[in-house]
Amino acid sequence: MENNSLLNYLLFTPLAGALLIMFFPAGKKNLIRYAGLAVSLAAFVVSLFVYAGFNNAVYSFSSFQFEFKYQWIEGLNISYFVGIDGLSLILILLTTFLTPLTLLSTWSSIQNKVKEFTFFMLVLEMGMIGVFVSLDLFLFYIFWEAMLIPMYFIIGIWGGERRIYASIKFFIYTMFGSLLMLVAIIWLAVNASATTGYFTTNLIELYSVAPTLGINIQVYLFLAFAFSFAIKVPLFPLHTWLPDAHVEAPTAGSVILAGVLLKMGTYGLVRFCLPLFPQASVQYAGWIALLAVIGVIYGALVAMVQKDMKKLVAYSSVSHLGFVVLGIFAFTQESMQGAIIQMINHGLSTGALFLMVGFVYERTHTREIARYGGIARIVPVYSTFMMIVTLSSIGLPGLNGFIGEFLILIGSFKSPVLSNWMFTIFAASGVIFAAVYMLWMYQRVFFGPVKDEKLEKLTDMTGTEMFIVASLIVFIVWIGVYPSTFLGLTDTYSASLVNSILNTNGIITK
């Protein structure tokens, strides 16, 4: 049943497509657009096959499926080693689902250098999938870093006015963190070789060796890894690159950035920091949870005073991802499940928000909230869609955001590690703030008097636009009403990870 080269197809489909598109004549924009869409849809179909063949009932966080291993660089014992578990699968599905929708959304907004754009998007997709399937730290690092290049160009070439500043800041900021992680990866492998007897970056082998390292070594390694991931998440106070990158990036860039790239940070924390350094993770859980909660409140407060819609959504990401990090470091099954589902939620809701903001920006060329007003009457369909997406972002019961936030709050409340209710109480206030800034923005943009006569001529959503957002809304509602479909994928995974960490630390759950 298990086809072991399926992940290779998944990984190399976008790359093959991208290379193929390079040879298309640059003038045939529509041909390139269709080809790009076809390739990303093919990748989506492959990911569905992976989903179909996936076995939910696996009991350990260190067992993977669809494993494929090939000795790559013998001299340093590096292998091309891929495999997935529930956590990777759900994020891969998010990636392959968002990419074709994003590509579709650029058919009207991206008009120059379509070929290059499609090329970079597909290479980016490969990089993202690569990060989620790598089971060798070296391979992981390659994808992690290589992905910066297409994103850098997407922001820099198709971005807004301050795109150069934003793209360089994005690049250098992330690179700074990841290079420290590179040193940590090597240091980990060298330290582990004292036990294993050979140099290896194989994740599964390191899963068993790394937790036995001395606590001091673990702490240094944990901090280096966590620092790199925290920049990507971004965790307060390392978030300053995010608003710039989001605001300057083209809509498609923002969607992918918020939808998938930020998840790599939280994915990294769950996949690497926790299982490799369980003692250090617990030791520093309080501090990281504190930063996460500060991020939740700070992001919300700053979002509240933004004048630019896109910037508002960008800061709301800081707030939402604070929740995810809190969930990860609360070490209960509920909070872990909540954190994982919240990663998906944020990808869907914030992705949808960026798309919606992008649609209206394309028409009016402004994102300033103050210049809008009363457009609910002019564009009723747009307003309705926006309402659903806004409510999903706020966390209205029945929609996806609620599930994630609720699980995280329950989990952190009864956390055996964060033995302080304050975390939960302050984080919960973030939910209220979210309602304030989102609804306030909605009110200013959609209700009240029409500020500008030009707005009267605003056209409503096109069929394509409706299709894109509606596809996202299907899942927004699905997760909200019947989350088991998705929670089931990571159920045993979260339980086994959390239990293993608590056991290592000798903590008995209440």
Least gap, CB of 131 to another protein (angstroms):
12
Q: Cis omega before residue 100 (within 30°)?
A: no
Q: Using CB under 8 A, which of 156, 253, 373, 395 touches another protein?
A: 156
Ramachandran region of residue 68, left (φ > 0), alpha (ψ -120 to 50) or beta? beta
What Cα–Cα distance (Å) separates residue 501 from each residue in 276, 454, 491, 496? Answer: 10, 59, 16, 9
- The SS3 assignment for 497 reads helix
CB 149 within 8 A of CB 178: no
Q: Is 179 in the site for another protein (CB under 8 A)?
A: yes
Site string for another protein, 188-217 (x = CB under 8 A): -xx--------x------------------
Q: Using CB under 8 A, which of 66, 117, 120, 171 touches another protein?
A: 171
What Cα–Cα distance (Å) separates residue 235 from each residue in 30, 239, 289, 319, 477? Answer: 40, 6, 10, 9, 28
Tokens of 9: 């197809």
Question: Between 246 and 320, whose beta carbon lies closer to another protein?
Answer: 246
The Cβ of residue 71 has, within 10 Å, a number of other Cβ atoms equal to: 10
Least gap, CB of 156 to another protein (angstroms):
5
Question: Between 168 and 304, whose beta carbon lies closer to another protein?
Answer: 168
CB 225 within 8 A of CB 217: no
Least gap, CB of 44 to another protein (angstroms):
24
Q: Is 150 in the site for another protein (CB under 8 A)?
A: no
Q: Using CB under 8 A, which of 37, 58, 175, 217 touches another protein?
A: 175
| Count of residues that interact with another protein, criterion CB under 8 A | 34
CB 307 within 8 A of CB 369: yes
DSSP 272: I
β-pairing verdict for 78-84 and 65-73? antiparallel
Q: Which stretch binds another protein (CB under 8 A): 103-111, 160-168, 310-318, 387-395?
A: 160-168
Question: Between 175 and 495, whose beta carbon lies closer to another protein?
Answer: 175
Q: Is 223 in the site for another protein (CB under 8 A)?
A: no
Q: Is 148 in the site for another protein (CB under 8 A)?
A: yes
State which of positions 14-73 bind another protein (CB under 8 A).
72-73
Q: Is 186 in the site for another protein (CB under 8 A)?
A: yes
Residue type, 293: V
Site string for another protein, 354-393 (x = CB under 8 A): ----------------------------------------
Q: Using CB under 8 A, which of 12, 24, 187, 361 touches another protein?
A: 187
CB 229 within 8 A of CB 268: yes
Question: Between 143 and 331, whose beta carbon lies closer to another protein?
Answer: 143
Ramachandran region of residue 507, left (φ > 0), alpha (ψ -120 to 50) or beta? beta
Task: Give the whole-angstrom CA distance, residue 383 versus residue 441.
Answer: 12
Phi, psi of 67, rounded to the nearest 5 degrees: -65, 140
Selection from 291, 315, 320 nearest residue 301 by Cα: 315
Q: Which stretch binds another protein (CB under 8 A): 88-96, 167-175, 414-422, 493-501?
A: 167-175
Q: Which stretch binds another protein (CB under 8 A): 50-58, 96-104, 149-157, 455-463?
A: 149-157
Q: Cis omega before residue 250 (within 30°)?
A: no
Q: Is 146 in the site for another protein (CB under 8 A)?
A: yes
Phi, psi of 373, rounded to the nearest 5 degrees: 150, 135
CB 45 within 8 A of CB 105: no
Question: Between 177 and 483, whose beta carbon lies closer to another protein?
Answer: 177
Q: Which stretch binds another protein (CB under 8 A): 137-145, 233-241, 249-257, 299-307?
A: 137-145
Q: Using CB under 8 A, which of 30, 74, 484, 510 touches another protein?
A: 74
Phi, psi of 238, rounded to the nearest 5 degrees: -100, 25
Task: Give the whole-angstrom CA distance, residue 247 versus residue 249.
Answer: 6
Contacts of 60 (CB under 8 A, 6+ apart): 496
DSSP 250: -
Q: Is 157 in the site for another protein (CB under 8 A)?
A: yes
Question: Between 163 and 246, whose beta carbon lies closer to another protein?
Answer: 163
Q: Which stretch binds another protein (CB under 8 A): 139-147, 232-240, 291-299, 309-317?
A: 139-147
Q: Using CB under 8 A, which of 76, 381, 474, 507 touches another protein?
A: 76
Least gap, CB of 19 to another protein (angstroms):
12
Question: Between 193 and 364, whose beta carbon lies closer to another protein?
Answer: 193
Helices 463-481, 400-413: crossing angle, 10 deg rounding: 30
Task: Give the whole-angstrom CA distance, residue 6 versus residue 50.
Answer: 7
Contacts of 284 (CB under 8 A, 6+ apart): 219, 222, 223, 226
Q: Using CB under 8 A, which of 44, 81, 117, 152 touches another protein?
A: 152
Question: Between 39 and 148, whose beta carbon lies closer to another protein?
Answer: 148
Question: Between 163 and 346, whose beta carbon lies closer to another protein?
Answer: 163
The Cβ of residue 435 has, within 10 Å, a number of other Cβ atoms equal to: 17
Question: Between 142 and 495, whose beta carbon lies closer to another protein?
Answer: 142
Q: Is 294 in the site for another protein (CB under 8 A)?
A: no
Q: Using CB under 8 A, which of 138, 298, 354, 382 touches another protein?
A: 138
Which residues sit at the interface with another protein, rule CB under 8 A?
72-76, 113, 138, 141-142, 145-146, 148-149, 152-153, 156-157, 163-164, 167-168, 171-172, 175-176, 179-180, 182-183, 186-187, 189-190, 199
